[in-house]
Amino acid sequence: MQTNQENRVAAILYIIGWGVMILGLIFGLVFGRVETGYHTEIVWPIFFTCLFAGFLCGITWIGFAEIIKLLHSIHLNLKTSSEPIMMNKNVEMKTAANKEKNVNLNKNGWPLTAEERNKIYQLYPVYEINEIVTTPIEKHCLIRLKNFNFKVIDVSGEQAKEIHDPKVINEIRRWYEYS
Protein backbone atom coordinates (compact mmCIF):
# COMPACT_ATOMS: atom_id res chain seq x y z
CA MET A 1 0.00 0.00 0.00
CA GLN A 2 1.22 3.48 -0.74
CA THR A 3 2.21 5.88 2.00
CA ASN A 4 0.34 8.89 0.61
CA GLN A 5 -2.86 6.83 0.70
CA GLU A 6 -3.65 7.52 -2.97
CA ASN A 7 -4.71 4.75 -5.27
CA ARG A 8 -2.71 4.64 -8.51
CA VAL A 9 -5.33 2.62 -10.34
CA ALA A 10 -7.99 5.25 -9.60
CA ALA A 11 -5.67 8.03 -10.75
CA ILE A 12 -4.85 6.19 -13.99
CA LEU A 13 -8.53 5.51 -14.71
CA TYR A 14 -9.32 9.17 -14.06
CA ILE A 15 -6.66 10.26 -16.58
CA ILE A 16 -7.91 7.70 -19.11
CA GLY A 17 -11.44 9.09 -18.72
CA TRP A 18 -10.34 12.63 -19.50
CA GLY A 19 -8.19 11.35 -22.38
CA VAL A 20 -11.14 9.50 -23.91
CA MET A 21 -13.31 12.63 -23.69
CA ILE A 22 -10.61 14.73 -25.39
CA LEU A 23 -10.18 12.05 -28.06
CA GLY A 24 -13.96 12.13 -28.65
CA LEU A 25 -13.71 15.87 -29.33
CA ILE A 26 -10.71 15.40 -31.66
CA PHE A 27 -12.37 12.52 -33.53
CA GLY A 28 -15.52 14.62 -33.89
CA LEU A 29 -13.51 17.44 -35.44
CA VAL A 30 -11.50 15.12 -37.73
CA PHE A 31 -14.26 12.81 -38.93
CA GLY A 32 -16.96 15.48 -38.99
CA ARG A 33 -14.97 17.73 -41.31
CA VAL A 34 -15.70 17.66 -45.02
CA GLU A 35 -13.70 19.63 -47.60
CA THR A 36 -15.76 20.90 -50.50
CA GLY A 37 -13.75 22.73 -53.10
CA TYR A 38 -12.76 26.05 -51.57
CA HIS A 39 -13.86 25.66 -47.96
CA THR A 40 -14.26 23.14 -45.11
CA GLU A 41 -17.59 22.31 -43.53
CA ILE A 42 -18.42 20.39 -40.37
CA VAL A 43 -21.07 17.71 -40.57
CA TRP A 44 -22.71 18.32 -37.22
CA PRO A 45 -24.40 14.90 -36.73
CA ILE A 46 -21.04 13.13 -37.10
CA PHE A 47 -19.30 15.68 -34.86
CA PHE A 48 -21.89 15.37 -32.07
CA THR A 49 -21.98 11.56 -32.35
CA CYS A 50 -18.21 11.34 -31.79
CA LEU A 51 -18.37 13.98 -29.04
CA PHE A 52 -21.23 12.21 -27.24
CA ALA A 53 -19.57 8.78 -27.55
CA GLY A 54 -16.28 10.15 -26.20
CA PHE A 55 -18.06 11.93 -23.34
CA LEU A 56 -20.06 8.82 -22.42
CA CYS A 57 -17.00 6.54 -22.44
CA GLY A 58 -14.90 9.10 -20.56
CA ILE A 59 -17.50 9.56 -17.84
CA THR A 60 -17.71 5.77 -17.47
CA TRP A 61 -13.93 5.58 -16.89
CA ILE A 62 -14.08 8.46 -14.40
CA GLY A 63 -16.98 6.70 -12.64
CA PHE A 64 -14.88 3.56 -12.24
CA ALA A 65 -12.06 5.71 -10.86
CA GLU A 66 -14.42 7.22 -8.27
CA ILE A 67 -15.69 3.78 -7.24
CA ILE A 68 -12.12 2.57 -6.73
CA LYS A 69 -11.30 5.73 -4.71
CA LEU A 70 -14.31 5.11 -2.45
CA LEU A 71 -13.47 1.43 -1.98
CA HIS A 72 -9.88 2.37 -1.22
CA SER A 73 -10.95 4.92 1.41
CA ILE A 74 -13.29 2.34 2.99
CA HIS A 75 -10.41 -0.13 3.07
CA LEU A 76 -8.16 2.43 4.77
CA ASN A 77 -10.87 3.27 7.33
CA LEU A 78 -11.37 -0.40 8.17
CA LYS A 79 -7.62 -0.90 8.37
CA THR A 80 -7.16 1.94 10.87
CA SER A 81 -10.04 0.80 13.07
CA SER A 82 -8.85 -2.80 12.53
CA GLU A 83 -10.72 -4.59 15.30
CA PRO A 84 -13.44 -3.72 17.76
CA ILE A 85 -12.62 -2.96 21.37
CA MET A 86 -12.15 -6.13 23.40
CA MET A 87 -13.15 -6.03 27.04
CA ASN A 88 -13.08 -8.55 29.81
CA LYS A 89 -15.22 -7.48 32.72
CA ASN A 90 -13.97 -9.15 35.89
CA VAL A 91 -17.18 -8.98 37.86
CA GLU A 92 -19.20 -11.86 39.18
CA MET A 93 -22.87 -11.75 38.30
CA LYS A 94 -24.89 -12.59 41.41
CA THR A 95 -28.57 -12.87 40.65
CA ALA A 96 -31.36 -15.09 41.81
CA ALA A 97 -32.06 -16.28 38.25
CA ASN A 98 -28.49 -17.55 37.83
CA LYS A 99 -28.50 -19.29 41.21
CA GLU A 100 -31.67 -21.12 40.21
CA LYS A 101 -30.20 -22.12 36.83
CA ASN A 102 -26.76 -23.02 38.26
CA VAL A 103 -25.11 -20.97 35.54
CA ASN A 104 -21.34 -21.41 35.48
CA LEU A 105 -20.02 -17.96 36.40
CA ASN A 106 -16.35 -17.21 36.15
CA LYS A 107 -15.22 -14.61 38.67
CA ASN A 108 -12.16 -13.61 36.64
CA GLY A 109 -13.86 -13.64 33.25
CA TRP A 110 -12.59 -15.86 30.48
CA PRO A 111 -10.25 -15.08 27.60
CA LEU A 112 -11.72 -14.91 24.11
CA THR A 113 -9.60 -17.00 21.73
CA ALA A 114 -8.94 -16.12 18.10
CA GLU A 115 -11.09 -19.08 17.04
CA GLU A 116 -14.04 -17.81 19.10
CA ARG A 117 -13.54 -14.29 17.74
CA ASN A 118 -13.62 -15.69 14.18
CA LYS A 119 -16.88 -17.47 14.97
CA ILE A 120 -18.36 -14.11 15.99
CA TYR A 121 -17.05 -12.48 12.80
CA GLN A 122 -18.76 -15.17 10.74
CA LEU A 123 -22.03 -14.22 12.42
CA TYR A 124 -21.46 -10.43 12.28
CA PRO A 125 -18.90 -8.73 10.02
CA VAL A 126 -16.10 -6.91 11.84
CA TYR A 127 -17.18 -3.50 10.53
CA GLU A 128 -20.59 -3.89 12.23
CA ILE A 129 -19.13 -4.58 15.70
CA ASN A 130 -18.19 -1.80 18.12
CA GLU A 131 -17.34 -3.90 21.14
CA ILE A 132 -17.02 -7.54 22.19
CA VAL A 133 -17.30 -8.23 25.91
CA THR A 134 -16.73 -11.59 27.56
CA THR A 135 -19.37 -12.13 30.22
CA PRO A 136 -19.29 -14.05 33.50
CA ILE A 137 -21.23 -16.83 31.79
CA GLU A 138 -18.61 -19.06 30.19
CA LYS A 139 -18.55 -18.90 26.37
CA HIS A 140 -21.18 -16.13 26.21
CA CYS A 141 -20.22 -12.73 24.76
CA LEU A 142 -22.05 -9.47 24.70
CA ILE A 143 -21.65 -7.68 21.38
CA ARG A 144 -22.44 -4.01 20.89
CA LEU A 145 -23.04 -3.27 17.22
CA LYS A 146 -22.46 0.02 15.38
CA ASN A 147 -26.23 0.62 15.32
CA PHE A 148 -26.13 0.49 19.17
CA ASN A 149 -27.97 -2.85 19.36
CA PHE A 150 -26.74 -5.43 21.85
CA LYS A 151 -26.55 -9.13 21.03
CA VAL A 152 -25.66 -12.03 23.30
CA ILE A 153 -23.66 -14.67 21.47
CA ASP A 154 -22.80 -18.24 22.48
CA VAL A 155 -19.40 -19.28 21.10
CA SER A 156 -19.26 -22.75 22.69
CA GLY A 157 -20.46 -24.67 19.64
CA GLU A 158 -18.92 -25.24 16.26
CA GLN A 159 -20.48 -21.97 15.14
CA ALA A 160 -21.42 -18.89 17.14
CA LYS A 161 -25.13 -18.45 17.64
CA GLU A 162 -27.27 -15.66 18.95
CA ILE A 163 -29.00 -16.27 22.28
CA HIS A 164 -32.74 -15.53 22.23
CA ASP A 165 -33.59 -16.42 25.85
CA PRO A 166 -34.87 -13.13 27.33
CA LYS A 167 -33.83 -14.10 30.89
CA VAL A 168 -30.20 -14.65 29.91
CA ILE A 169 -30.14 -11.54 27.72
CA ASN A 170 -31.60 -9.34 30.46
CA GLU A 171 -29.22 -10.69 33.10
CA ILE A 172 -26.15 -10.11 30.92
CA ARG A 173 -27.30 -6.63 29.91
CA ARG A 174 -27.98 -5.76 33.55
CA TRP A 175 -24.52 -7.04 34.48
CA TYR A 176 -22.97 -5.01 31.66
CA GLU A 177 -24.77 -1.79 32.56
CA TYR A 178 -24.03 -1.97 36.30
CA SER A 179 -20.47 -3.24 36.23
The parent domain of residue 41 ranges over 8-80
Using DSSP bridges, classify how beta strands 150-154 and 140-145 pair: parallel, antiparallel or unpaired.
antiparallel
Question: Tell me, what's the pLDDT at 125?
Answer: 80
Domain assignment present for 2: no
Note whether 132 and 87 are within 8 A (CB).
yes
Task: Kindly report the backbone phi and psi dihedral angles of residue 94, in degrees, each rounded to the nearest multiple of 5, phi listed first.
Answer: -115, 100
Q: Is the pTM value of this prediction over 0.75?
A: no
Low-confidence ranges of the chain (pLDDT < 50): 1-4, 82-108
- How far is residue 170's CA from residue 123's CA, in Å, rounded to a whole number? 21
pLDDT of residue 81: 52
pLDDT at 157: 87
pLDDT at 128: 81
**Based on the domain organization, do 76 and 126 belong to the same domain?**
no
In a domain, 123, yes or no: yes
Domain co-membership, 65 together with 123: no
Residues 18 and 75 in one domain: yes
Residue 143, Cβ density class (10 Å: 0-12 exposed, 13-18 middle, ≥19 buried)? buried
Looking at residue 100, its pLDDT comes to: 38
76/97 same-domain check: no
Q: What is the pLDDT of residues 96-109, one digit of tens each?
A: 343 333 333 334 46
